[in-house]
């Protein structure tokens, strides 16, 4: 997807500066028992919209989700095939690296585990690269992508995901910072060796655990 990397814009430049400055870091390294809000975060009631300056229109008629790489059964699913898969509802929190968190988001979609059961990852699969219709990409370990509450979401709070929030399909991996939950999801590549996605190439952490405050590379 490198040929379709989004161009620099004001947000990209600003977030590179934040990474260089270590902006928002509190220095906490442990999670107090029963504490729900990660260090350096504040609660919001709305759902802020962040993107790279482009909100692609993905018509359902041309929607395609590809699962490739180290899998026994590569997949290419249109909208009818994807939405025919078992549907699951999950409630989880959002933690954005820009310091806001939102509690109790109700999602509906297909669990990552159900999708991977169709693709059958091989023993060589260790990591995942997610790619989006706007050229965005992000990486994460396969074990985290396949967490029990990880979802490929089509609905939020009972309504279809809006275009601004990544509709028709986005990843939701709630235990990591939300930049790992790619919007407008179009590709899932299972890979062996980890490699950096868009923000990871621009100074952000390769893993992104909110409780360890892994906002930037080197944290």
Q: State pLDDT tens for residues 39-50.
A: 999 999 999 997
Residue 206: burial class (beta carbons within 10 Å; 0-12, 13-18, 19+): middle
Residue 32: burial class (beta carbons within 10 Å; 0-12, 13-18, 19+): exposed
- Cα distances (angstroms) measured from residue 61 to each of 56, 58, 172: 14, 8, 23
Cα radius of gyration rounded to whole Å, the chain: 17
Domains with residue ranges and CATH for the chain:
37-48+60-212 (3.90.420.10)
Supply 126's token pair: 């260790």
Q: State pLDDT tens for residues 131-190.
A: 999 999 999 999 999 999 999 999 999 999 999 999 999 999 999 999 999 999 999 999
For 218: left if phi > 0, alpha if psi spans -120 to 50, otherwise beta; the answer is: left
Q: State pLDDT tens for residues 13-31.
A: 555 555 555 655 555 555 5
- 8 A C-beta contact, residue 142 and residue 128: yes
53 pLDDT band, cuts 50/70/90, is: confident
**Whether this model's pTM surpasses 0.75:** yes
Distance between first and last Cα of the chain: 27
């Amino acid at each position: 997807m490198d040929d379709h990397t989004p161009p620099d814009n004001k947000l990209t430049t600003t977030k590179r500066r934040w990474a260089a400055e270590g902006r928002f870091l509190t220095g906490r390294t442990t999670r107090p028992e029963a504490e729900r809000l990660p260090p350096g975060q504040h609660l919001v009631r709305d759902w802020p919209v962040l993107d790279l300056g482009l909100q692609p229109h993905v018509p359902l008629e041309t929607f395609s989700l590809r699962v490739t790489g180290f899998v026994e059964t590569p997949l290419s699913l249109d909208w009818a095939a994807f939405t025919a898969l078992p549907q699951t509802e999950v409630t989880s929190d959002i933690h954005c690296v820009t310091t806001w968190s939102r509690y109790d988001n109700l999602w509906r979609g297909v669990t990552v585990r159900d999708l991977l059961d169709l693709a059958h990852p091989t023993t060589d699969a260790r990591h995942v690269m997610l790619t989006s219709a706007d050229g965005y990409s992000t990486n994460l370990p396969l074990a985290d992508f396949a967490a029990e509450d990880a979802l490929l979401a089509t609905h939020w709070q009972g309504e279809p995901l809006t275009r601004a929030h990544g509709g028709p399909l986005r990843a939701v991996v709630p235990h990591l910072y939300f930049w790992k939950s790619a919007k407008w999801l179009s590709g899932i590549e299972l890979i062996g060796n980890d490699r950096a996605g868009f923000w990871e190439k621009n100074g952000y952490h390769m893993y992104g655990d909110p409780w360890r405050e892994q906002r930037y590379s080197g944290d």
